[in-house]
Chains A and B, each alone.
Chain A
Amino acid sequence: MAHAIWSGAINFGLVTIPVKLFTAIRSSDLSFNMLHEKDEGRIKYERVCSVDGKEVPWDEIVKGYEFEKGQYVTLRDEDFDRVSPEITQTCNILEFVDLAHINPMFFDKPYYLEPTKTGRHAYALFREALASSNRVAIARVVMRSKEYIAAVKPIGEALVLQMMHWADEIVETSTLDLPTEEQLPQPEMKMAKMLIDTMTVEAFEPAKFKNVYREELMKIIDARIAGKELPMPAKKAVSREKVVNLMDVLAASLEEKKKEAGAAAPAAKTSTRRRKSSAA
Chain B
Amino acid sequence: MAKEVREIVEVAHRKLSVSNRDKVLWPADGYTKGDLIDYYRGVARYLVPHLRDRPLTLERFPNGIDGESFFEKQVPRGAPEWVNTVRVPSHAEHRSHIEYIVCNDEPTLVYCANLAAIVLHAWTSRVQSLDNPDFALFDLDPWEGCTLKTLATVALRLRDALSEIGMSPLVKTSGATGMHVVVPLDPVYDYEPIKQFAEIVSRHVALLLPEQTTLQRMTAARSPKTVYLDYVQVGKGKTIVPPFVVRARPKAPVSMTLAWEEVEEFAASRTQNPTTAFSRWTIKNALRRIEKDGDLWAGRHWRPARLEPALKRARTLWGN
Chain A interface residues toward B at CB < 8 A: 175-177, 213, 216-217, 220, 232-233, 235-236, 238-240, 242-244, 246-247, 249-251, 253-254, 257, 267, 269-278, 280
Tell me if B93 and A274 are in contact (CB < 8 A). Answer: no
- Nearest A residue (CB) for B195: A250
In the complex the two chains form, what is the Cα distance from A274 to B84 in whole Å? 5
- Nearest A residue (CB) for B207: A238
Q: Is B292 an interface residue (CB 8 A)?
A: no
Q: Which 4 A-B pairs have the closest CB atoms?
A: A280-B78, A233-B221, A250-B196, A272-B84
Report B-chain residues with C-beta under 8 Å of the C-beta of A176. Answer: 91
Report A-chain residues with C-beta under 8 Å of the C-beta of B320. Answer: 240, 244
Task: List 18 A–B pairs whose Cβ atoms lie within 8 Å, in order of A's numbering.
Answer: A176-B91, A233-B223, A236-B216, A243-B204, A244-B319, A246-B196, A250-B200, A250-B311, A254-B189, A267-B131, A269-B128, A270-B127, A274-B81, A275-B75, A275-B81, A278-B77, A278-B78, A280-B78
In the complex the two chains form, what is the Cα distance from A244 to B311 in whole Å? 11
Using known A-B contacts A270-B128, A275-B83, determine if residue A254 contacts B308 with beta carbons closer than 8 Å: yes
Tell me if B307 and A254 are in contact (CB < 8 A). Answer: yes
Tell me if A272 and B311 are in contact (CB < 8 A). Answer: no
- Nearest B residue (CB) for A275: B81
Number of interface residues of B (CB under 8 A): 54
Report A-chain residues with C-beta under 8 Å of the C-beta of B210. Answer: 235, 238
Report A-chain residues with C-beta under 8 Å of the C-beta of B196. Answer: 246, 249-250, 253
Residues facing A in B79-101 (CB within 8 A) are: 79-89, 91, 93, 96
Tell me if B319 and A251 are in contact (CB < 8 A). Answer: no
Q: In whole Å, how far is B159's beta carbon from the nearest beta carbon of chain A?
A: 18
Could you give, for residues 104-120 of chain B, a 1 whenever the CB lies within 8 Å of some chain A CB and a 0 otherwise?
10000000000000000
Q: Is B218 an interface residue (CB 8 A)?
A: yes
Tell me if B85 and A273 are in contact (CB < 8 A). Answer: yes
Q: In whole Å, how far is B93's beta carbon from the nearest beta carbon of chain A?
A: 6
In the complex the two chains form, what is the Cα distance from A271 to B126 in whole Å? 9
Tell me if B311 and A247 are in contact (CB < 8 A). Answer: yes
Using known A-B contacts A267-B131, A270-B128, determine if residue A243 contacts B200 with beta carbons closer than 8 Å: yes
Tell me if A278 and B81 are in contact (CB < 8 A). Answer: yes
Using known A-B contacts A243-B204, A272-B85, determine if residue A177 contacts B91 with beta carbons closer than 8 Å: yes
Q: In whole Å, how far is A224's beta carbon from the nearest beta carbon of chain B?
A: 12
Q: Is B129 an interface residue (CB 8 A)?
A: yes
Q: In whole Å, how far is A253's beta carbon from the nearest beta carbon of chain B?
A: 5
Q: In whole Å, how far is B132's beta carbon from the nearest beta carbon of chain A?
A: 9
Partner of B129, one of A232, A250, A267, A274: A267
Q: In whole Å, how far is B223's beta carbon from the nearest beta carbon of chain A?
A: 6
Q: Is B38 an interface residue (CB 8 A)?
A: no
- Nearest A residue (CB) for B127: A270
Known: A238-B206, A247-B311, A250-B196. 6 other contacts (CB 8 A): A233-B221, A246-B200, A270-B127, A270-B128, A272-B86, A278-B77
Tell me if A216 and B220 are in contact (CB < 8 A). Answer: yes
Partner of A271, one of B127, B206, B315: B127
In the complex the two chains form, what is the Cα distance from A270 to B100 in whole Å? 13
- Nearest B residue (CB) for A277: B81
Partner of A251, one of B81, B93, B216, B311: B311
Report B-chain residues with C-beta under 8 Å of the C-beta of A278. Answer: 77-79, 81
Q: Is B299 an interface residue (CB 8 A)?
A: no
Could you give, for residues 290-304 of chain B, a 1 whenever the CB lies within 8 Å of some chain A CB and a 0 otherwise?
000000000000000
Tell me if A233 and B222 are in contact (CB < 8 A). Answer: yes
Report A-chain residues with C-beta under 8 Å of the C-beta of B311. Answer: 247, 250-251, 254
